[in-house]
Amino acid sequence: MGKKDKKARRGPSDDIDWDELRAAAVEAMQRAYAPYSRYKVGAAALVSDGRIVTGCNVENASYGVGLCAECGLVSDLQMSGGGELIAFVCVNGHEETIMPCGRCRQLLYEFAMPGMLLETVSGIRTIDEVLPDAFGPKDLEEATR
């Protein structure tokens, strides 16, 4: 599906409102704390129970301890009841869609339902498309057998 296609089908009655997710990501981005890079990021995701969770980046003078928007989103997910992520979008300070870095894709994978959708710079993609052959909890379970 292309970027112009605002809704992606997941099932017979499960429409994803990408405009609502994007608006939540933009609102989160506006709360970002980015005095050093001035690169504000906001993220939003739809959860399996219908909630929307959000996060923003929070920088620190000691650059290595800054927090990305995806970390904040996953924290919001856990603090508000857990669940699986169904759809995800991330924006920069210009409200443009951006791709989560590899580390953040791995973080999202841990909490994604199979086939989670992401709005990316090249259109709607699944988590498996943006993180093929991912390492996850199943790999650890198999190693302990």
For residue 2, is pLDDT > 70? no
For residue 121, is pLDDT > 80? yes
- Structurally, what CATH architecture does the domain formed by 18-143 represent? 3-Layer(aba) Sandwich (3.40)
59 is in an annotated binding site: yes
pLDDT digits (tens, 9 = 90+) for 18-39: 999 999 999 999 999 999 999 9
Packed helices 102-111 and 69-79: angle between N→C axes, nearest 10 degrees: 10
Mean pLDDT throughout 49-55?
A: 97
For residue 69, is pLDDT > 70? yes
The rounded distance, in Å, linking the Cα atoms of 100 and 105 is: 6
Active site residues: 70
pTM, two decimal places? 0.87
**88 to 3, 12, 44: CA distances (angstroms):** 14, 20, 6
Burial class (CB in 10 A: 0-12, 13-18, 19+), 27: middle
121 CB neighbour count, 10 Å cutoff: 10
The rounded distance, in Å, linking the Cα atoms of 119 and 23 is: 13
92 is in an annotated binding site: no
33 is in an annotated binding site: no
